[in-house]
Amino acid sequence: MPQRYHRIHVIDSHTEGEPTRLVLNGFPELGTASMAERLALLRSKHDNWRKAVILEPRGNDILVGALLCSPTHSKATAGVIFFNNQGYLAMCGHGTIGLMASLHYLGLADVGEHLIETPVGDVATVIHDDGSVSIKNVPAYRYRKDVEVNVPGLGLVTGDIAWGGNWFFLVNQKFTDIHIKQVKLLSEISLAIKSALEVSQITGKDGQPIDHIELFQPHNSADSQSFVLCPGGEYDRSPCGTGTSAKLACLAADGKLAEGEIWQQASVIGSTFDASYARLDANTVIPTFRGRAYICADNNLLIDAEDPFRWGFEA
């Protein structure tokens, strides 16, 4: 291969419909600090590598990237940094399921328990015999209940603000059916809510931006169906692991779901996660969710030094 090509080995998977691109190598060396510090370094010094694998022409707006990192502790199997078309994610549930399925496919993780380090804390994962993966997530909590925001075109919208590894605004109000045929309208509604939160300076704890919007409706077989808008403006095809965690925190806070009880969360395309929680303290839960990822590609991305679009372009 001519020297002007740089090779990046990736495994593409989808978790209940939502894609993950795991980067195995080919990124600049980020050292041995914590995942949060390595994320900060990647963001500040090497962001063009994120763009090269996630943006067009090699990627697309739906993809979530996961950079495989060496762990800081010997008890952990791996570390991971998640990113998307817009920037970086603190944690990603479907992406962690995709990571574990990919490591299993590569022979790097056996069926059983594996600790994974993320920028917001360690998560305990289990690769099950049937190929599904459970993630015991970072602690989740509801920050504020029944927050009202005036949304142009929608009026007063009420929702809860919760942390599930990312910040969510969870809305139970019905605007339109949560259905795959309605994703354009659902995206517009959710984007309008997100903008209104920004304009009204409604944030997560310590002023952190609420970058995920979650709409809910009852479902005929699952406990609930959701539509989740992700930070880059795309919607999650899976039930969203961190979003399901935020939902569990709200259900626990409202006394609507008992500790250990299974909550089945359906996505907008009808795929599901089975989830439950253990109580940590009066306001905090440890969520666990389980789903399945499938490997779609084992691929080498090439970055051609002569390619004017080698670092991607914003669509």
Nearer to ligand PYC, 99 or 303 (CB): 99
Other CB atoms within a 10 A radius of the CB of residue 157 amount to: 21
Closest approach, Cβ 231 to ligand PYC, in A, equals 8
Which residue blocks in 55-113 are alpha helix, DSSP H? 93-105
The distance from CA 138 to its chain's CA centroid, rounded to whole angstroms, is 13
Other CB atoms within a 10 A radius of the CB of residue 283 amount to: 14
Active site residue 250: no
Closest approach, Cβ 133 to ligand PYC, in A, equals 12
Would you count residue 293 as binding ligand PYC (CB under 6 A)? no
Closest approach, Cβ 213 to ligand PYC, in A, equals 12
Selected binder of ligand PYC within 94, 104, 114, 290 (CB under 6 A): 94
Q: Is the dihedral of CA 103, 285, 82, 217 positive or negative?
A: positive
Cα–Cα distance for residue pair 169/202, rounded to 1 Å: 10
Query: Residue 121: exposed, middle, or buried by beta-carbon count in 10 A (0-12, 13-18, 19+)?
Result: middle
Question: Is residue 164 a contact partner of residue 249, using CB atoms and an 8 Å limit?
Answer: yes
Would you count residue 240 as binding ligand PYC (CB under 6 A)? yes
- Tell me the CA distances in angstroms from 303 to 89, 225, 260, 276, one per residue in order: 24, 40, 47, 43
Nearer to ligand PYC, 24 or 228 (CB): 228
Selected binder of ligand PYC within 93, 119, 159, 204 (CB under 6 A): 93
The partner residues of 157 in beta bridges, in order of sequence, read: 149
Cα–Cα distance for residue pair 20/60, rounded to 1 Å: 11
Question: Is residue 257 a contact partner of residue 274, using CB atoms and an 8 Å limit?
Answer: no
Tokens of 96: 């962690």
Selected binder of ligand PYC within 53, 55, 64, 252 (CB under 6 A): 64
Nearer to ligand PYC, 159 or 231 (CB): 231
Would you count residue 236 as binding ligand PYC (CB under 6 A)? yes
The secondary element (H helix, E strand) that includes residue 47 is: helix 47-54
Given 92, 230, 250, 296, which residue is catalytic?
92
Selected binder of ligand PYC within 92, 109, 123, 303 (CB under 6 A): 92
Size of the site for ligand PYC (CB under 6 A): 13
Would you count residue 210 as binding ligand PYC (CB under 6 A)? no
Closest approach, Cβ 18 to ligand PYC, in A, equals 6
Nearer to ligand PYC, 77 or 166 (CB): 166
- Tell me the CA distances in angstroms from 315 to 72, 85, 145, 229, one per residue in order: 36, 9, 36, 18
Nearer to ligand PYC, 127 or 230 (CB): 230
Which residues 166-205 are close enough to bind ligand PYC by CB under 6 A?
166
The amino acid at 93: G
Selected binder of ligand PYC within 147, 222, 230, 285 (CB under 6 A): 230
- The binding track of 14-33 with respect to ligand PYC, each residue x by CB under 6 A or -, is ----x---------------
Select from 23, 8, 25, 32 the least CA-distant residue to 98. 23
Active site residue 240: yes
Nearer to ligand PYC, 223 or 236 (CB): 236
**Residues with active-site annotation:** 92, 240
Q: Which residues bind ligand PYC (CB under 6 A)?
A: 18, 64, 89, 92-94, 166, 230, 236, 238, 240-242
